[in-house]
Structure 1
Amino acid sequence: MRYTYPHTIENGAGEQITFVRLKENEKGGMLEIENRVHPGAGPPMHVHHLQDESLTVVEGRIGAQVAGQEPTFHGPGETVTFLRGVAHRFWNAGDDVLICKGWASPAYNMEYFLTEIYRSTKANGGKEPSAFDGAFLQTKYKTEFDVIEIPTLVKKVIFPIILLLGKLAGKHRRFDGAPEAVSLVR
């Protein structure tokens, strides 16, 4: 899937990401991003299995946490980097809008995945993506991304039921043309 840059998405829950540009390279590309996060907002604990991610605070205060560790807090000019395979989360830990610049590399399907998750979340009132969209995206791209806060039982038992019912209802057609997931042999 090709995007025109800059490409901005919002999730209806206080998070906005602008994909500034994709720098193509033989290693899957580097996605340059800017984000704006309202006080208290931020993604749930998640992991990028294939991507490193780095955010530098331009304005505001970011809270960051790696699974199993205490949160850390950073202000303007400071950078937090999350390595691939490490579960993490971040949030606006201040009273004003948090603005960061950063990157994710290799990009692979990050832009598509986040664009679709944000679209569905916004359409679903800003709380979470619709059950079908969340199940579809989490299942299709499980080699690249995982939302740690979704219980394993839900992923292994409930998601297949949701996917079957959604397919019978034709909901899967919305994702026709979705890029194939990337799976690297390690």
Structure 2
Amino acid sequence: MPPYPYTIDNGLGERLTFVRRIATPRGARLEGKTLVAPGAGPPMHVHHFEDEAFTVAEGRLGYERAGEPPAFAGPGETVIFRAGEAHRFWNAGDGDLRCSGWIEPAGNVEYLLRELFASQKRNGGSRPDPFDAAFLAHRYRSEFSMTAIPAFVRRLVFPIVVALGHVLGKYAAYADAPAPLDRPAGPSPVTPPIAGPRRAVTPAA
């Protein structure tokens, strides 16, 4: 793992700086900063063990939880996504979106994002290579799911692609990939009261 702080860039308008890890009773809390270009952001996904938070420093954050209308947050406002909540976010403004944030417990999210971003950049700043995407999504499915991808693809197609990738020698770079987690590193999360709004900060226009 590179020394902190370090920055990754997917070539699609998202740049993440991993700042530090802090020990907590639930495992490590990973703190970072993100810069997102207008319109950019990840598709709908879910962290099965981890809580994730963003505090807007500059710009307009658009976000959506599955089954809820889109909402927006501005400078000084914090949005928290709890473990198990499918969500997405994007830059809803005309200029750069800058946020600070954290994810807890961190699990393998740092490795997963680092490898996904690297694959996207190698692939010309578009989607990650299909073999890379299948390997990472399948290996870490206990921690993270890209719900924008149909369930049958994740459950049936990805294992076939991974098996083919092994036959073709596609995964030498993942020889030291950390083992996936089957449960949180610390005690089961207990949702505490949240300071500030959890849900829509500003109703969708």
TM-score by length of 2: 0.87
Q: What letter is aligned with 1:29?
A: A
Corresponding residue for residue 6 of structure 2: 7
Aligned to 1:166: 165
Matches within 5 A, 1:79-94: 79-94=78-93
Counting only pairs closer than 5 Å after superposition, residues 20-169 of structure 1 correspond to structure 2 as 20-169=19-168
Offset of 1:26 from its aligned partner? Answer: 4.3
List runs of 5+ in structure 1 lacking aligned partners: none
SS of equivalent residue, structure 2 residue 89: strand
For 1:160, give the aligned amino acid.
P
* Worse overlay, 54-63 or 157-166: 157-166
- Aligned partner of residue 113 in structure 1, secondary structure: helix
SS at match of 1:171: coil
**Which amino acid counterpart does residue 157 of structure 2 have in structure 1?**
I
Map Cα deviations across residues 67-96 of structure 1 (whole Å, 9 max, x no partner): 110011111001111001000000000000
Q: Aligned letter for 1:164?
A: A
- 1-structure distance, mates of 2:71, 2:29: 26
- Aligned-residue sequence identity (percent) comes to 50
Question: Normalising to structure 1: TM-score of the pair?
Answer: 0.96
Amino acid at match of 1:71: P
Distance 1:59 1:79 in 2: 12
Q: Which moved more, 1:152-161 or 1:44-53?
A: 152-161
- For residues 24-58 of structure 1, the C-alpha deviation after alignment (integer angstroms, 9 at most, x for no partner) is 23422100010000000000000000110000000
SS in 2 for 1:29: strand
Q: Counterpart amino acid of 2:77? A: E
Task: Please give the per-residue CA displacement for 1:121-179, whole angstroms capped at 9, x wherever unaligned.
Answer: 11112221111110000000000000001111211222122112211111121101111
Distance in 1 of aligned mates of 2:115 and 2:28:
20
AA of the residue aligned to 2:58: E
Instruction: State the Cα deviation string for residues 106-133 of structure 1 (Å, max 9, x = none).
Output: 0111100100111111111222111111
State the Cα RMSD in Å.
1.2
Deviates more, 1:176-185 or 1:45-54: 176-185
Structure 2 distance, partners of 1:164, 1:182, is: 21
CA distance in 1, matches of 2:156, 2:107: 28
Matched to 1:7, the amino acid is Y
Corresponding residue SS for 2:171: helix
Name the SS for the 2:181 alignment partner.
coil
